[in-house]
Structure 1
Amino acid sequence: MSKTKPIVGITMGDAAGIGPEIIVKALSHSTVYEECRPLVIGDAKIIEKAVRITGASVKVNVVSEPAQAQFSHGTVDIIDLDLLPEDTAFGEVAAVVGDAAYQYLAKAVSLAQAHEINSICTAPLNKEALHKGGHLYPGHTEILATLTDTEDYSMMLTTPNLRVIHLTTHVGLIKAIESITPERTYKVVKLAHETLKNAGIETPRVAVCGINPHAGENGLFGYGEEEEKLLPGIQQAQKEGIHVEGPYPADTLFFRAGRGDFDIVVACYHDQGHAPIKVMGIEEGVNITVGLKGGIIRTSVDHGTAFDIAGKNIADEKSMIVAIQSASELAPIWEEEN
């Protein structure tokens, strides 16, 4: 495989949503092809319908493997799994569509594991459709963890001015705090460090949020969670030469990171990390799964399927473009295989 531009496998997501449209719109921009070699994994009939809806000046090129792709602006290369009919309805939850979204992702993982693509970028899926299709996962991240047999992984969110990685995500607040351990803190700090180092930041600056207001303020708030759950993990990472600080009060830490004091913030729970990201740039937000076995990087738009506007040619492709760019920037480059 070439060591120049990485091949980014773009999964179509839920075909009843805006995924096909934003993929076609994103691949209409020549700048995408300047940074990577995009390859769609989905249903060609649906992508062709999206081309008609958007009026994009592109042609669809069906291939059976990445080596057959043209990777040239004006052509949308796609591995066609041929799972859905052309008249698949927009804006409707359907089991067959949910299953198809899962199959696109599974195909992308197998290609990444075989080193035929360098990274994965996912269009949004619909959790209800996914479940109706027989795949009982909260979302992409958990599917990826299962398909790659990964236990220690994390969600990273990025905007142009802020990066956040999470200790916990889709669990209630009480359970989230209970599940934070020094080992989890250490592992996520290390994941943040390694991911940014692989992306070209020689000495990433990592900062960890406190759990309680004012990071506990020396026991004034909470029950010593910072000292019990966070500090030992931070200190372990520091002993290994990782540049990590904290725990710091979250109400000021995100401001400091946004102005450039740190390269990434470790958030303790879902809303602590998601809210600042969405305030600072929801249209350019990217969701990244890090820590997957085999070094696989997956990025995604930081929005949903938007069933209410699907098929109307009004969905904005900006987040998809940024997600593809992030998948390119963070992609491992596999060695040439004979």
Structure 2
Amino acid sequence: MAASILQRFLLPVRTAGKISAHRETGRRCLLSAAYTDTKVWEQRQTEPQSLGELASLMDRSYERKFPVSSLTISRTVDCISSKEEIDQTEYYLYKFRHSPNCWYLRDWTVHSWFRQCLKHGAREKAMHTLKNKVQFGMFPDEFTFNLLIDSYLKDKDYKGACSVVEEVMLQEAFTQPTTQIVSLFALSKYLATKPDLSWQEERNVGAALMLAGLEQENSVGISAQLLGHALIGKVEMARGIHVVFHQMPLIWTLGYLGRSLAVMERVCTDTGDLKLSTEVLDYLQTILQELSSTPSETAEENTAENQADDSIDEEDELERAKLPQYTAKRPPTQRARLCHSWGPV
């Protein structure tokens, strides 16, 4: 439904004089060939090692309960030369994670691991280690995240790209503009497929949109913030605030739907260049209509893990009682003043 909401995330047009420059940017790929080029990385100086010898050394160390150094595990990752060796190295990454030296897993080792997975066609292993942080302790930097997202985008696997964006969101790694751009683009492409989202997916996609949008001081960021708050607010209204912030980098203050409407009102009163997408407003209106016509989730449908205590349940009911007020604040009819076009470049 929100297919074209964020399709032009690369074009946050602020002034008419910059339109031509942004159009040139829109014709190129998200990440340049130089950005994703592996030549410099592969030409770095590494010590020739034998994976078999390193594996034997680590096995003897673990048997004798000796520590394995971070340098040894780094050399092991650098020695990978085939997809079969990815599986072997994954085992030693797991062992290192559960060793006393796990704290010293180096950033370059993490980056090298994901590079090797992409190089040898083992992206599923990269995602497995990325999502299982307790077992592997992988916390990539923004550059590594960008390479992972870009690999999915090139294959037009937008759901896979969004699964990486969710990890960016959980790690709160939206500090670099490039990461913000590729993340928002991946989310827009995924929404363009009109997926049937579960409430967990709505919460995660909404959180990613909101956190990435907060870093963009333009119409693109405002549109992402509104849609993100609206998706989270939909989950809050249906299931309560506890499931919103549980294991998520989100505040536990109620009223996400109200904050979404506050973003809309901010644009209405803004005297600058901030505008909202028509599709965003339509999506917001659809959410309000669904919440008005759909009864709240019953307590039996919520798992014991996500159930709140009595005081929070009362607060949830008070928030749900505000739904008629939110519904009364429907998107304005004079949309031409608010909405900008996301037409083709």
**Which protein is richer in strand relative to its size?**
1
TM-score with structure 2 setting the length: 0.29
Mark the structure with the bigger radius of gyration: 2
TM-score with structure 1 setting the length: 0.30
State the structure with bigger RCO (CA 8 A, min sep 6), 1 or 2. 1
**Which protein is richer in helix relative to its size?**
2
